[in-house]
Amino acid sequence: MKNVKTTSLAALMIGTMALGGCAALGSGAKKDTYELSGIPPVSGPYSKRRQIVVTDPSALKSLDGANIVIRTSPSSIQYLGKSQWADNLPAIIQEKLIEAFEDSGRLGGVGKPGDGIAVDYLISPSIRSFEIITGSGDTAVVEISVRIINDRNGVVRAQRVFQSTAPVLGASNEAFVSALDRANGEVMNEIVAWVLKIV
């Protein structure tokens, strides 16, 4: 893959979006596809009588797709050129959370909407940020808010915002994705540990 220096971000991008418009470049070009890593099993209290469902994560339109977001200013984003996630980002986040809860071995059951399991708590994520912020040092920022909702009465048991950052170590597309992967891993770990303590 051709390396692209961060001092020439325009060459990295497939499109530009600044509040009102979006321009696509090289729409027919083949894109490299990336996946997020899983996390090591998280320890926590056993809640074998509890079953949870991870709902579909909500996200703004810019994050509700397979594009990898680069933020160049508070009101302007671009997409990483010739690169994409393996699926829509919210679907990946949901699947990785489910895997992390299952791998913990601490719960009686974990699923997604439509799985047909009896539910004690809904885990409702919202993706607030999942992007590279450019500047003097490019940084990956992942921010996800989570609500734990009692499925029997609709009461929010707890809610919290999780955020992590990671420096981009290089100028390649892989370096950008690796930074996002590291930041996401920290957020996932914190979310799972927190939920296990609550439910």
> How many structural domains are present in the chain?
1
Residue 176, in any domain of the structure: yes
Q: What is the pTM of this model?
A: 0.85
Domain membership of residue 93 as a residue range? 43-198
Question: Which tokens hold the place of 71?
Answer: 């933020």
Residue 74, in any domain of the structure: yes
Per DSSP (E only), the strands in 119-194 are: 121-133, 139-150, 156-167
Give residue-wise pLDDT tens across range 76-111. 999 999 999 999 999 999 999 999 999 999 999 999
Residue 163, in any domain of the structure: yes
User: What was the pLDDT predicted at 47?
Assistant: 86
Residue 95, in any domain of the structure: yes
Residue 35, in any domain of the structure: no
Read off the pLDDT band of 191 (50, 70, 90).
Answer: very high
CATH number at residue 114: 3.40.50.10610
Residue 26, in any domain of the structure: no
**Averaged pLDDT for residues 158-172:** 98
- Distance between alpha carbon 64 and the CA centroid of its chain, in Å? 10
User: What was the pLDDT predicted at 22?
Assistant: 35
Asked if the model's pLDDT at residue 26 lies above 80, the reply is no
DSSP assignment of 61-118: GGGSSSPPEEEEETTEEEEETTEEESS-HHHHHHHHHHHHHHHHT-EEEEE-TTS---
Residue 2, in any domain of the structure: no
User: What was the pLDDT predicted at 29?
Assistant: 73
More confident: 15 or 56? 56
DSSP 8-state code for residue 27: T
Residue 10, in any domain of the structure: no
User: What was the pLDDT predicted at 15?
Assistant: 38
